[in-house]
Amino acid sequence: MFVLKKRPGYFWPVKFQIPLANGKFEEHEFSAEFARIPQQRLDSIAADLQNKKSKITDEDIVKEVFIGWKDVTDEVGDAILFNEENRATLLNVPGVRTAIVKAFYESIAGAAEKN
């Protein structure tokens, strides 16, 4: 049985790499909280992305779906609170924004594949 009700966001792993010296990379991971987007909106985003003249960007998608996090810490290991300033700092790290969008699409694609 399925109970139709509004569900809060959900957490999904986001993995990315930060380049180091000598062609090496440092692996990182945190859990992003994604908003549950209605299927109609997902269809609209997909249509926009297929339109070569579309102006939708990774930043637009992240602003809409990325609503929280777990496992983001400072240099001494203290948890960093999710807020607009800290979110902007994280999104300014090269590759993170793209990794968040990729993780979001993986999360909804997995649900679609199981149906």
The pLDDT of residue 115: 45
Give dist(CA 90, CA 63) in Å, integer. 13
The pLDDT of residue 91: 96
Q: Taking the model in full, what pTM does it have?
A: 0.84
DSSP output for 38-90: -HHHHHHHHHHHHSTT----HHHHHHHHEEEEES-B-TTSPBPPP-HHHHHHH
For the segment 81-113, what is each residue's pLDDT rounded down to a tens digit? 999 999 999 999 999 999 999 999 999 987 545
Q: List, in sequence order, every residue forming a beta bridge with 12; answer none if it has no partner.
A: 32
**Nearest by Cα to 87 from 54, 106, 59:** 59
The pLDDT of residue 56: 85
| 17 — pLDDT class (breaks 50, 70, 90) | very high
